[in-house]
Amino acid sequence: MKDNQINPTTSDASVAESSSLTSEQYRKKMQRRKEVQDQRIADASLEKGLVIVNTGNGKGKTTASLGMVLRSLGHGYKVAIIQFIKGAWEPSEKKAFSAWKESGQLMFHAMGEGFTWETQDRDRDIEKAQAAWNKGLEYINNPEYRLVLLDEINIAIKLGYLRVEEVLDGLSQKPERNHVILTGRGAPQSLIERADLVTEMNLVKHPFRDQAVKAQPGIEY
Give the amino acid at 76: G
Rg (CA), the chain: 21
Residue in 28, 32, 34, 57 annotated catalytic = 57
Residue 53, phi then psi, degrees to nearest 5: -120, 125
State yes or no: is 59 an active-site residue: yes
Residue in 62, 154, 178, 183 annotated catalytic = 62
At how many degrees (to 10) do helices 164-171 and 122-140 cross?
A: 10
State yes or no: is 101 an active-site residue: no
Residue in 27, 71, 95, 122 annotated catalytic = 71
Residue 91, phi then psi, degrees to nearest 5: -70, 140
State yes or no: is 61 an active-site residue: yes
C-alpha to C-alpha distance for 46 and 127, rounded to whole angstroms: 39
Do the Cβ atoms of 172 and 178 come closer than 8 Å?
A: no
- DSSP symbols for 138-149: HHHT-TTEEEEE
Residue in 89, 101, 113, 115 annotated catalytic = 115
C-alpha to C-alpha distance for 151 and 65, rounded to whole angstroms: 9
Q: State in Å, rounded, how far the first CA of the chain is from the last one.
A: 33
Give the amino acid at 104: G
DSSP secondary structure code for residue 87 in this structure: G
Residue in 54, 133, 146, 152 annotated catalytic = 152
Among the listed residues 180, 169, 153, the one whose alpha carbon sits nearest the alpha carbon of residue 48: 180
State yes or no: is 178 an active-site residue: no
Residue in 7, 24, 117, 176 annotated catalytic = 117
Distances (CA, A) of 8 to 12, 67, 99: 6, 28, 43
Residue in 61, 78, 128, 146 annotated catalytic = 61
**Active site (catalytic) residues:** 57, 59, 61-63, 71, 115, 117, 152
